[in-house]
């Protein structure tokens, strides 16, 4: 299934994209793409519905983040060997974990803001993992059973604040609009081999990132097991798993967003996003 949320910000309704590409309204069957709806039992109930019998949504409504009520937005840094190389960083011996605040979450095509005072706002296309089954101390062999689905994330980052201003990375990662998620949540049965998906990102039509999840250092199952050693995972939690090379910081000379640009990005089988860059 391709699950999604549509409508004005803060008033999104649950929906799905059927096999013919028609957006269908799920609000008669589930309150939101969140919480219990993401559990194995909740997803099974949605999968049993006759999609053709659901109300079709007219027009082209705004798409919201594909998962609602996210409790934790967990990110993994330097998780692609080729990205670590372009930034001059050593390949990590274990996953680097940081947070994006949930207030950073926005729809896949919403505007992205450059924060006031920012000079180094950057982009990162990433594979997102949405948790469906709660757990802690999860065994790696069982980790994928905790996944509700996968999605596209743009891990927008302010590099000066992340790297040059002291403290943790978090202050450069959590500005409002720095976490576009969607367009849809693709359940594992339709997502394909998430360890080998092409991913890309363009700014004003110029392709900067053109990589694959195959160069991830730590795979999805390993990341879920690792993170669950330090915190419990709940339905709706999101793990953003790192980015391939081609970020602005890695260009020679570096290229950063100034305002007015359009970012377009996608992951094979998981859809595309497009954001206009505006100044806060």
Residues 92 and 159 in one domain: yes
Residue 58 is assigned to a structural domain of this protein:
no
pLDDT in tens, 246-262: 999 999 999 999 999 99
User: Alpha-carbon distance 170 to 75, whole Å?
Assistant: 10
User: What pLDDT was estimated at residue 246?
Assistant: 96
Is 272 found in the same domain as 158?
yes
The confidence score (pLDDT) of residue 57 equals 98
Range of the domain at 251: 73-279
Claim to verify: residue 32 and residue 149 sit in the same structural domain: no
The pLDDT of residue 168: 86
Verify that 15 and 136 share a domain, yes or no. no
Q: Residue 66 falls within a domain, yes or no?
A: no
Model confidence over 80-125: pLDDT tens digits?
987 877 877 788 999 999 999 999 999 999 999 999 999 999 999 9
126 and 189 co-located in one domain: yes
Give the span between the Cα atoms of 73 and 174, in whole angstroms.
10
d(CA 278, CA 280): 7
**HSE value, Cβ hemisphere, 13 Å, CA-based, for 125:** 30
**pLDDT tens figures, 23-46:** 999 999 999 999 999 999 999 999
Verdict on whether the full-model pTM lies above 0.95: yes
Q: Does residue 59 lie in a domain region?
A: no
216 plus 126 within the same structural domain = yes
**Whether residue 172 is found in the same domain as residue 134:** yes
State how many domains the chain has: 2
d(CA 133, CA 42): 10
pLDDT of residue 254: 97
Residues in CB range of 167: below 8 A, 6 or more apart: none
CATH number for the domain that contains residue 146:
3.90.850.10
């Amino acid at each position: 299934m391709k699950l999604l949320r549509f409508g004005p910000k803060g008033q999104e309704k649950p929906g799905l994209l059927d096999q013919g590409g028609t957006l269908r309204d799920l609000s008669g069957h589930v309150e939101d793409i969140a919480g219990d709806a993401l559990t194995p039992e909740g997803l099974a109930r949605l999968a049993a519905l006759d999609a053709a019998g659901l109300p079709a949504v007219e027009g082209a409504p705004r798409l919201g983040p594909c998962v609602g009520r996210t409790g934790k937005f967990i990110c993994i840094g330097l998780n692609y060997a080729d990205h670590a190389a372009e930034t001059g960083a050593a390949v990590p011996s274990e996953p680097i974990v940081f947070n994006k605040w949930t207030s950073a979450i926005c729809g896949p095509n919403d505007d992205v803001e450059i924060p006031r005072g920012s000079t180094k706002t950057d982009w990162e296309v990433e594979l997102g993992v949405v948790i469906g089954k709660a757990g802690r101390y999860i065994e790696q062999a069982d980790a994928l059973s905790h996944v509700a689905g996968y999605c596209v994330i743009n891990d927008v980052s302010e590099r000066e604040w992340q790297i040059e201003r002291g403290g943790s990375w978090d202050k450069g990662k959590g500005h409002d609009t720095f976490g576009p998620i969607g367009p849809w949540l693709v359940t594992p049965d339709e997502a394909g081999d998430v360890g080998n998906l092409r991913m890309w990102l363009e700014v004003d039509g110029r392709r900067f990132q053109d990589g694959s999840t195959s160069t991830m250092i730590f795979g999805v199952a390993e990341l879920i097991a690792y993170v669950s050693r330090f915190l419990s995972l709940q339905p709706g939690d999101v793990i953003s798993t790192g980015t391939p090379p081609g970020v602005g910081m890695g260009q020679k000379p570096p290229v950063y967003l100034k305002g007015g640009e359009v970012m377009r990005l996608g992951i094979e089988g998981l859809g595309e996003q497009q954001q206009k860059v505006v100044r806060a």
